[in-house]
Amino acid sequence: MQESDTYLMILDEGKEKGIREIILVLGEDRFGPPDESVKASLNDISDLNRLKRIARHAPNAASWRDILSRGPRAMLWFLGQRVRRPAAAGGRAADTEGRRLGAERAT
């Protein structure tokens, strides 16, 4: 059975709302209740993939601002800085700075 476009849009809106709630819970556990500007910024995001990236980042974020910074610009910078290079024979793959992938990053 094929679902209608309206039905699929309603499902996506429900997913967005659920992910926003998860982000708010994770952020509140770490940084306390968000102010209205944080809530408004989060509600302005309608890209489901961006919301998923934000949710994945939230447990490791340093602030509410850091949580919300996970957007297209942040991803472009990240992709530009952390390009994988193939592993040398017998070695492990490394990023552009020569660090082995999978190793802890310096904070």
Backbone angles phi, psi at 100, to 5 degrees: -70, 135
Structure letter (DSSP) for residue 10: H
- Write out pLDDT tens, residues 39-57: 999 999 989 999 999 999 9
pTM recorded for the entire structure:
0.62
101: three-class secondary structure by DSSP: coil
Structure tokens given for 93: 């793959």
Count how many Cα atoms sit within 13 Å of the Cα of residue 94 in the half-sphere of its side chain: 10
Domain positions in the chain: 5-70, 71-107
105: three-class secondary structure by DSSP: coil
pLDDT of the residue at 89: 53
pLDDT of the residue at 78: 43
pLDDT, mean of residues 71-94: 48
